[in-house]
Amino acid sequence: MHTKLVAGNWKMNGLSGDLVEIERLKDGMDAADCEVLVCPPATLIARMHDMAIGSELLIGAQDCHAALSGAHTGDLSAAMLADAGASHVILGHSERRADHGETDALVRTKAQTALDRGLTVIVCVGETEAERDEQRTLDVIGAQLSGSLPDGCLAAHTVIAYEPVWAIGTGRTPTLEQIAEVHGFLRRTLSERFGNEGQEMRLLYGGSVKPGNAAEISALSDVDGALVGGASLKADEFLQIIRAFSDQ
């Protein structure tokens, strides 16, 4: 039984005025029996990190560059994110794969760089609706997994998020059987490659997680937490999800 992780991905949302949600989150988090992480836009990482001091709240980033420094205008390195107070970084989110053409090979290089800087990586995988319709889901996810993870990953610093592309921001979710099937596949595949470390890595489900479906998703074996987009922006909704994952 792994300690669950409920991670909020704020995406390109959040201005100074939204920091009040972090105060509310901290106030409501006392009873949480799981790890709680918020990944705001990079502009808010340092301020959220300062606000989180003295609480259990973890702060992460949504992406990093593959290189540690250099001539990459507008990009942020893993070292900078760690310096700003991030402990985690999401990598290979489908929006980055789609909007920025990120490949498995690039995600793998980013993951290695982030791990080298002491960040915990949350590597995202997931099929499109067409790939599911063509019954290629496990093939696609297997290829993403093997291509996106560097060798030698350790459970303490590696989290995998299964996020079906068609479930992100749509209000649609796979059936519980479909989530269980993919998570079982992830567990087997990771165990084959990383042995006991693969057995221990936490597997998050993401894609339209809401207060109304969190408990049933959390109850599935091999679901060790959630990656939450829209429902993480408001503390009251996010706290309901945190409670659902704490009760399991």
Q: Is 134 a catalytic residue?
A: no
Nearest distance, CB of residue 236 and ligand PGA, angstroms? 16
Beta carbon nearer to ligand PGA, 79 or 91 = 91
Residues that bind ligand PGA (CB under 6 A): 9, 163, 168-169, 206-209, 227-231
Beta carbon nearer to ligand PGA, 201 or 228 = 228
Nearest distance, CB of residue 237 and ligand PGA, angstroms? 11
Beta carbon nearer to ligand PGA, 57 or 209 = 209
Beta carbon nearer to ligand PGA, 94 or 194 = 94
8 A C-beta contact, residue 146 and residue 107: no
Give residue for tokens 């290189």.
67
Nearest distance, CB of residue 39 and ligand PGA, angstroms? 9
The one catalytic residue among 65, 95, 163, 183: 163
Please identify the residue of the shown chain whose CB is closest to the bound ligand PGA.
229
What does 7-62 look like in DSSP terms, one character per residue? EEE--S---GGGGHHHHHHHHH-TT--SEEEEE--GGGHHHHHHHHTTSS-EEEES
- Cα–Cα distance for residue pair 26/9, rounded to 1 Å: 17
- Cα–Cα distance for residue pair 222/145, rounded to 1 Å: 16
Q: Is 163 a catalytic residue?
A: yes
Please give the DSSP secondary-structure letter assigned to residue 4: P
8 A C-beta contact, residue 118 and residue 105: no
Nearest distance, CB of residue 228 and ligand PGA, angstroms? 5
User: Which positions are annotated as active-site residues?
Assistant: 93, 163
